[in-house]
Amino acid sequence: MAKKPDQSAMHFETQAVHAGEMRDKAHDSLVTPLIMATAYPFEDSDELHRYFRGEHERAEEYGRYGNPTQDVAEKKLAALEAGKLADIEALLTSTGMSAIVTTLLAMVKPGMHLVITADSYRKTRVFVREFLAKFGVEHTTCEPSVAGIAAACLPTTRLIITESPTNPYLNCIDLAGLVAFAKPRRIKTLIDATLATPYNLRPLEFGIDLVVHSATKYLGGHNDLMAGVVVGKRELITALREHQGMLGALASPFTAYMLIRGLKTFAIRMQQHNRSGLAIARFLAAHPKIEQVWYPGLETHPAHAIAKAQMHGFGGLISFTVRGDLAAGSRVVDAVRLPYLAPSLGGPESLIEQPALMSYYDKTPEERLALGIRENLIRLSVGLEHDQDLIQDLDQALASV
């Protein structure tokens, strides 16, 4: 039998390849097999008794409650998010939004108050404002800072929801300060860290209770799968797993298999995203056709000091405004030759969009501005192309303004 390496002592890059996987796999396969079964038979009634008493090592019973391929993906994700923390588990879901919805439905109850920052993901805010409110869950939306969150909390507040960095302006929350406020008051903290990824930021190490990712983005990394994950202490994830079994927000075994495959190169991809993101942000910040650039790696970003203190790198998402109006932004988006005009982020292909159109087309310019969305705002997800090729492409596109 092959020797099992000590995964806790591995560097992040090595964990991305090996964590969560058995050294000896079924049929002597090098890669974790894709298991498509919906049910897992028991040898006899005695094995069934031992399984339900927790005396049997087997983990699977029925596909809605677990899958061997899913289990490996969850263990790998937990290892990447946990760092040196113990008793951390991950729950894989069908999408990032299903991770949010499953978590909130499991944690809230009528009469509870929660706080959500104003620049959290739009659909998360809609779910809190329109769906949870129907069931007597109260909320306050606040500015994205520890001071803003603290001012919004009530005696009945039991959950704080925020992101770091946020989309599209990449604001960063002081996680140590947030935990210092929330823990003594017994308020749970939930961070959507999709844009940061565990390569650049591990909120659990600061004392955050739960971390959510859209694994569709950087974790999957190839624009070819949809999944979500929530990571936290074992007792919290166990409770969420029970609710997932009822709600059915499952990632398919094939999705789990593809996610494992994507995670093998995750650390190397993030190094390139970080390098190119910073280089392109600096180019844009110096360009005469650009009004403003939002990228936490730039000293001009309002949250740069926070980001520098708690992040390993700053990712591949950049937001910027061009000189002009909505039409000027459209000319730039239409003139680029490498990035695709599409939503999402975190894949090998660079993507570009105007949030005013892609995400807020149903709003008037006045309504968009009230939400903080400028007409001339462009969001660029930097892919894995060479940064100089992207810079040259952006330079020629900006000539159209």
- In the prediction, which pLDDT does 6 show? 63
Whether residue 217 lies in the annotated active site: yes
Q: Where are the alpha helices (DSSP H) in 224-265?
A: 234-247, 253-263
Q: How far apart are CA 295 and CA 51, in angstroms?
A: 51
Say which range, 11-15, 198-202, 255-259, 305-309, has the weakest mean pLDDT: 11-15
Q: Where are the beta strands (DSSP E) in 1-67?
A: none
Residue 7 pLDDT more than 80?
Answer: no
Kindly name the residue from 75, 119, 121, 188 that is annotated as catalytic.
Answer: 121
Q: How far apart are CA 107 and CA 103, in angstroms?
A: 6
Average pLDDT over residues 169-190: 98
Q: Order of strands, edge to edge, in the sheet holding 351-353?
A: 290-294, 317-322, 377-381, 351-353, 340-341
Instruction: For residue 47, give Cα distances in angstroms to 26, 42, 58, 381.
Output: 21, 6, 10, 51
- In the prediction, which pLDDT does 1 show? 44
- In the prediction, which pLDDT does 195 show? 98
Residue 3 pLDDT more than 60?
Answer: no
Q: How far apart are CA 283 and CA 234, in angstroms?
A: 44
Span 113-133, pLDDT tens digits: 999 999 999 999 999 999 999
In this structure, the strands spanning 351-353 and 340-341 are parallel
Kindly name the residue from 4, 23, 25, 64 that is annotated as catalytic.
Answer: 64
Cis peptide before 168 (omega within 30 of 0): yes
Q: Which domains does the chain have, with CATH numbers?
A: 7-263 (3.40.640.10), 266-398 (3.90.1150.10)
- In the prediction, which pLDDT does 370 show? 87
Span 14-23, pLDDT tens digits: 999 999 998 8
> How many C-beta neighbours within 10 Å does residue 235 have?
9
Candidates 175, 174, 135, 140; CA nearest to 154 is: 140
Residues 81/211, Cβ–Cβ less than 8 Å: yes
Span 34-52, pLDDT tens digits: 999 999 999 999 999 998 8
Span 280-307, pLDDT tens digits: 999 999 999 999 999 999 999 999 999 9
What is the SS3 string spanning 50-72?
HHHCCCCCCCCCEHHHCCHHHHH
Residue whose token pair is 């596109």: 397
To the nearest 10°, the Cα dihedral for 206, 273, 381, 309?
30
Average pLDDT over residues 380-401: 97
Q: How far apart are CA 381 and CA 195, in angstroms?
A: 10
Q: What is the DSSP letter of 156?
A: T
Kindly name the residue from 119, 192, 209, 289 that is annotated as catalytic.
Answer: 192
Q: Hey, is 39 helix, strand or coil?
A: strand
Both tokens of residue 342? 């599409």
Type of residue at 401? V
Crossing angle of helices 96-107 and 234-247, rounded to 10°: 100
The mean pLDDT of the chain is 95
Span 224-265, pLDDT tens digits: 999 999 999 999 999 999 999 999 999 999 999 999 999 999
- In the prediction, which pLDDT does 8 show? 65
Q: Hey, is 98 helix, strand or coil?
A: helix
Candidates 326, 330, 396; CA nearest to 365 is: 326
> pTM for this one?
0.93
Q: How far apart are CA 169 and CA 220, in angstroms?
A: 23
Residues 278/270, Cβ–Cβ less than 8 Å: no
Whether residue 192 lies in the annotated active site: yes
Residues 167/119, Cβ–Cβ less than 8 Å: yes
Whether residue 64 lies in the annotated active site: yes
